[in-house]
Chain A
Amino acid sequence: MSRFVPGTVLVTLLASCWSFAHGAIVELVPTGQFEVQGSEVHRSLQLPAAFLVSPSPFGRPVFITTGPLTARLLVPARLSRDEADPEIVRVDTSGPQEDFLSVRPDGENLIVDRNGLTMTLKASPPLLGDRTLEELIRALPDYRRGAARYTPDPASLAKLRHVQPTELLVVFGSWCPHCAEAVPRLVRVLQDVRDAPITVTFHGVPHDGTRDPVTDDLHVTGLPTAIVRRDGKELARMEGDQWASPERSLLTLVATPARSAGGTH
């Protein structure tokens, strides 16, 4: 008991510091970067990162903070959803903190436990293989939110709706930070020109050095890379800075004459 009390006081103090640094309300959105089996994981929009795991094996939602690292059970009164955007969950961190759990890093995972009951928050495995636009945004909520934040150039969108039938193969890594910045912009563009004759396939590749036959066959040297094709022949590629404004880049690329020795997939 005497050992438990100072520990609890310390954790409460750390959590209070965290609350003070972040204000009373923390906004969180669904994330595909981390997972807990059988639960939905939300990640804070602000830094340092915070996570909400709901439902949890402990019966109530678990709120995890980093810097300092703490985990605690939340009473329902602390949780609310944004009326305009139901994906946003708000956690009220004001006032006395309650129900702290034991939490410790285990490599890239996080272990939360109490009385022998354990919950592991771990990095999601990479999204591999071919996916449609709908499958992509369903699997990666961060991409969906990134897409919602991007505003494409309306004039380019209008022109894209009238291009010749075009195929797009987007090679990306769900683990890749550049892809998380760039690909959602293209997602937004494609969502805005759903009526355009553009068919798109997203191809997720592994991170751990495992060779991917598609990247090998197509000599993809950087991620993300979008390969623009017409009638199976490669027209051009969108790479590097071209991802800053994918609608403009795409418009330029679809007007490119087909390469004589274009790759096929």
Chain B
Amino acid sequence: MSKLGGVLGPTSARLLGAVLLFAAYAKAIDPRGFAVRLHDMLPVSAAAAYVCGLAVVAFEAGLGAALLGGSRHRRVLLLASATFLVFVGIVTWQLVRPGEAAACGCFGQLLERTPWQALYEDLCFVVLSSLAWVGGTARPAVLRTGPSVFGAGAGIALALCAPWLPLDDHATALAPGVTVEATHLDEIVPELRTGRHLVLLLDRGDPETGVRIAQLNERLKLPGGPTPVWGVADDDPALANAFLWSAGPAFEVRGAPPRMLRRLYRALPRSALVDGGHVVATWSGFPSDATLDALGRGQLP
């Protein structure tokens, strides 16, 4: 038992450390997306949710680094057990509270799970955190904070830099190669299942987007250009009408539930070229003028 305990405990702890580091990374590459999920789940303001999101990233990365680094300190193991119990509590509250349960954002868009899947998974992690105690906690007696500080710092640094890093394809469900079914865009624009289309994910409240629409209309030779263009935006009728007056899009803009749309971008606008039911290219923002001109001629950029 002591030999098994000597392996089981540290292995479980390192496994939990890896899980926490992965979770911190998934959140850090799209901190605003995680803040939106926190805002959905917890009674906090949007600004507070962003700060809470950064704190969660720092905490998970710090604790994960400590566990992966082999720390067997009582406080570290206690914190790990408490963390996963809190996760179970939050997910359970999501399931029992009135209204639709928000999807768990534990692993961002990298690993999407339903609230029930999240509950089962977190229960497994609670068991794993209990196993991490097997084998004792005495060595080393001194708490080494180096790995935690490094992990937390790296997590925060990544979260702060992430908006400027080209991680959209990696961090969202809209990436070259995926099917339109996987993006759920076909539920909003069934026409995407066949043919070639340019899809523009828009923020209808953004004045700059409104200004760019006239240029898009012209370069893509709309209406009636060779590449059909679809706008997709939050389904807010008030914003839709205001956008209609201010931007005058020569393409159809369809509304989508914000929760569905949020999986597809880190920042708006974002664009994608769909061909034969598959995403073949994506752009952060709008495509370049050269790309728009190519699409306006009916060519692949």
Residues 211-262 of B at the A interface (beta carbon under 8 Å): 213-214, 217, 222-223, 235, 237-242, 244-252, 254-255
On whether the beta carbons of B250 and A47 are closer than 8 Å, the reply is: yes
CA distance A163 to B252 in the complex (A): 38
How far, in angstroms, from A177 to B244 measured CA to CA in the complex?
A: 15
Tell me if B246 and A69 are in contact (CB < 8 A). yes
Contact indicator A244/B190 (Cβ below 8 Å): yes
Nearest chain A CB to B77 CB, angstrom units? 42
Closest to B255 in A: A177
A46 at the interface (CB under 8 A from B): yes
Q: Is the CB of B235 within 8 A of A49?
A: no
Question: How far apart are the CA atoms of A67 and B222 in the complex, in Å?
Answer: 11
Contact of B238 among A66, A68, A107 (CB under 8 A): A107
What is the bound-complex CA distance between A67 and B190, given in angstroms? 26
* A141 to B240 CA separation, bound complex (whole angstroms): 20
Given contacts A48-B217, A244-B190, contact A123 B245 (CB under 8 A): no
The A-contacting residues of B in range 63-122, CB under 8 angstroms, are: 100
Number of B interface residues at 8 Å Cβ cutoff, please give it: 26
Chain A CB within 10 Å, residue with most, of B100, B213, B250 = B250
Known: A48-B217, A67-B213, A244-B190. A21 touches B250 (CB 8 A): yes
Residue pair B214, A47 in contact (C-beta under 8 Å): no
- The CA of A176 and the CA of B217, in the complex, are separated in Å by 25
A58 lies within 8 A of chain B by Cβ: no
Q: List the B side residues contacting A68 at CB < 8 Å.
A: 214, 248
Is A110 located at the chain interface by the 8 A CB criterion? yes
User: Which residues between 177 and 206 of chain A lie within 8 Å of chain B, taking CB atoms?
Assistant: 177
Q: Which of B213, B217, B248 has the most CB of A within 10 A?
A: B248
CB closest residue in chain B, given A175: B237
The minimal Cβ–Cβ distance linking B200 to chain A, given in whole angstroms, is 14
Which A residues between 108 and 124 are near B, CB-CB below 8 angstroms?
108-110, 123
Chain A interface, DSSP helix/strand/loop, else mixed = loop
Complex CA distance for A207 and B235, rounded to whole angstroms? 10
Among B237, B242, B245, B249, residue most surrounded by chain A Cβ atoms (within 10 Å): B245
A232 interfacial contact with B, CB 8 Å: no
Return B277 CB to nearest CB of chain A, in Å.
15
A46 lies within 8 A of B237 (CB) = no
Inter-chain contact total with CB atoms closer than 8 Å: 61
Residues on A with beta carbons closer than 8 Å to the beta carbon of B248: 48-49, 65-69
Residues in A with CB closer than 8 Å to B245 are 66, 69, 105, 110
A108 contact from B190, B217, B238, Cβ within 8 A: B238
Residues A46 and B235 in contact in the complex (CB < 8 Å), given A68-B248, A69-B245, A110-B245: no
**B222–A47 touching, CB < 8 Å:** yes
Nearest Cβ distance between residue A22 and chain B, in whole angstroms? Answer: 8
| Interchain nearest-CB distance for A183 vs B (Å) | 15
**Separation in Å of the A68 CB from the closest CB of chain B?**
6
Q: Give the complex CA separation of A66 and B222 in angstroms.
A: 13
Closest partner residue, chain B, to A23 (CB atom) = B224
Q: Which A residues touch B100, using CB under 8 A?
A: 221
Q: What's the Cα separation between A67 and B223 when bound, in Å?
A: 11
Verify A105–B222 contact, CB threshold 8 A.
no
Bound state CA distance, A21 and B218, in angstroms?
9
Given A47-B223, A207-B237, A105-B250 contact (CB < 8 Å): no
- Binary contact track B185-199/A, C-beta < 8 Å → 1, others 0: 001001000000000
Give chain B interface residues in 264-295, CB to chain A under 8 Å: none
- Complex Cα distance A69/B241, Å? 13
Q: Check if B249 sits within 8 Å of A108, measured CB to CB.
A: no
Chain A proximity mask over B140-182: 1 for CB below 8 Å, otherwise 0:
0000000000000000000000000000000000000000000
Residues of A within 8 A of B238 (CB): 107-108, 123
- Pick from A21, A49, A108, A221: contact of B242, CB below 8 A: A108
B252 & A67 in contact (Cβ 8 Å cutoff): no
Q: Give chain A residues whose Cβ lies under 8 Å from the Cβ of B214.
A: 67-68
Once the chains are docked, how many angstroms separate the CA of A118 from the CA of B239?
Answer: 23
Nearest A residue to B248 via CB reads A67
Contact A48 B190 (CB under 8 A): no
Contact call A47/B251, Cβ cutoff below 8 A: yes
Given A105-B242, A177-B255, decide whether A48 and B250 contact each other with a Cβ distance below 8 A.
yes
CB-contact partner of A49 in B237, B244, B246, under 8 A: B244
Give me 11 A-to-B residue pairs in the complex whose CB atoms sit less than 8 angstroms apart, sorted by A's number. A21-B250, A47-B251, A47-B252, A48-B217, A48-B223, A48-B249, A49-B244, A105-B242, A108-B238, A177-B235, A244-B190
Interface residues, chain A, with chain B CB atoms under 8 Å away: 21-22, 46-49, 65-69, 105, 107-110, 123, 175-177, 207, 221, 240, 244
- Taking A68-B248, A108-B237, A108-B240 as given, write out 6 further A-B residue pairs in contact, using a Cβ cutoff of 8 Å, ordered by the A residue number: A65-B248, A67-B250, A105-B246, A108-B238, A123-B237, A175-B237
A-B CB proximity, top 7 nearest: A67-B248, A66-B248, A108-B241, A105-B245, A48-B248, A108-B238, A48-B250
